[in-house]
Amino acid sequence: MSKLEVLHFPDPRLRKKAIPIEIIDSNITTIAENMLETMYDEAGIGLAATQVNIQKRIIVIDVSEERDQPRVLINPKIVSSEGIEQMQEGCLSVPGYYDDIERAEKIKYSYLTEEGELIEEDADGLLSVCIQHEIDHLDGKLFIDYLSPLKRQRLLKKIDKQERAQAL
């Protein structure tokens, strides 16, 4: 197992669209293992392959308190959604920034397991938010894209300032 480097906004590679996985082989299961190690090491509740510069549709998640329920979702899709809810979000690719984001409250989602089994399930609460956040990553989208223009402008300025300071 090896820990992978997590890309940080505004890295343009975070905007790439991930490609569906056609064959689940040892290459894919190794990627999943390394993503889980990276997610636990960074204390995240989810991680999308896009964040570790892999353009494949695979995400890992663990929303359990004990952090002992690793899940690997291949080619995850939102099948349907209902309701609206607001939750405070953060992202390993936008360290140190948290804000309330509106998303669908309940979702029906599908994915392939590492064994190639097609699963369809319902989610609400934190799991629902996390799956929507991770699928967004696979499409090159970040939670900060949903901010109001004013909040977004403030954040971009702050990050720009941090980058300049670091370059010195």
Longest alpha-carbon distance in the chain: 51
- Examine the residue annotation and report whether 134 is marked as an active-site residue of this protein: yes
Letter for the amino acid at 60?
V
> Which one is catalytic: 22, 33, 42, 134?
134
Q: State in angstroms the smallest separation of the CB of 62 from ligand GNR.
A: 10
**Exposed (0-12), middle (13-18) or buried (19+): which is 49, by Cβ within 10 Å?**
buried
Nearer of residues 75 and 132 to Ni ion, judged by Cβ: 132
Q: Judged by CB under 5 A, does residue 91 bind Ni ion?
A: yes
Q: State in angstroms the smallest separation of the CB of 119 from ligand GNR.
A: 21
Nearer of residues 34 and 93 to ligand GNR, judged by Cβ: 93
Secondary structure in 3-state letters for 5-43: CCCCCCCHHHHCCCECCCCCCHHHHHHHHHHHHHHHHCC
Q: What angle do CA 128, 129, 134 make, to 5 degrees?
A: 100
Nearer of residues 6 and 28 to ligand GNR, judged by Cβ: 6
Q: State in angstroms the smallest separation of the CB of 73 from ligand GNR.
A: 12
Q: Which stretches of the chain bind ligand GNR, using CB under 6 A?
A: 44-48, 51, 89-93, 129-130, 133-134, 137
Return the half-sphere exposure (C-beta side, CA atoms, 13 A cut-off) of residue 31: 24
The contact set with Ni ion (CB under 5 A) reads 91
Which residues are catalytically annotated? 134
